[in-house]
């Protein structure tokens, strides 16, 4: 009996992932595709830096943190932008894509200014 529940759980999980993925692919527009590629890029960059630190050591710790956090920060900012671009969410945020882009640029500028200050 235990085995059967286990397999059903795994089945469920696989099912979940499949439906979500297909749904996701269906909902893509050129714009969100671009954003998502950028997100993936940031993710890869962050992971690369992390691996580098594990292999080589974190000597200029400032620089690593600056680089890593700029990836993470930019990532969440882009996710915010993407959420606000999503047509379903217009009503929640009560704002326009232009406004979202403006906010995004403002926040990113500040983020990168601090990062530059941080890495010396």
Interface residues with other proteins (CB under 8 A)? 9, 12-13, 15-16, 19-20, 23-24, 61, 65-66, 69-70, 72-73, 76-77, 79-81, 83-84, 89, 92-95, 100, 102-104, 106-107, 110-111, 114-115, 117-118
In sequence order, which ranges of 1-120 are alpha helices (DSSP H)? 2-27, 30-56, 61-85, 90-93, 97-118
Q: At its nearest, how many Å lie between other proteins and the CB of residue 76? A: 4
Minimum distance, C-beta of residue 77 to other proteins, in the bound complex (Å): 7
**Sign of the CA dihedral 104, 107, 113, 114?**
negative
Minimum distance from CB of 23 to other proteins (Å)? 5
Dist. CA 90–CA 66, nearest whole Å: 33
Nearer to other proteins, 27 or 37 (CB): 27
CA–CA gap between residue 54 and residue 50 (Å, rounded):
6
């Amino acid at each position: 009996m235990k085995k059967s529940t286990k397999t059903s759980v795994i089945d469920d999980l696989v099912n979940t992932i499949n439906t979500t993925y297909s749904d996701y692919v269906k909902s893509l527009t050129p714009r969100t595709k671009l954003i998502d590629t950028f997100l993936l890029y940031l993710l890869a960059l962050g992971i690369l830096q992390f691996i580098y630190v594990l292999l080589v050591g974190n000597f200029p710790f400032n620089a690593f943190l600056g680089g890593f956090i700029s990836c993470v920060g930019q990532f969440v900012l882009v996710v915010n932008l993407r959420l606000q671009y999503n047509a379903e969410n217009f009503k929640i945020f009560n704002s326009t894509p232009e406004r979202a882009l403006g906010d995004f640029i403002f926040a990113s500028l500040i983020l990168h200014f601090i990062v530059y200050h941080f890495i010396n």
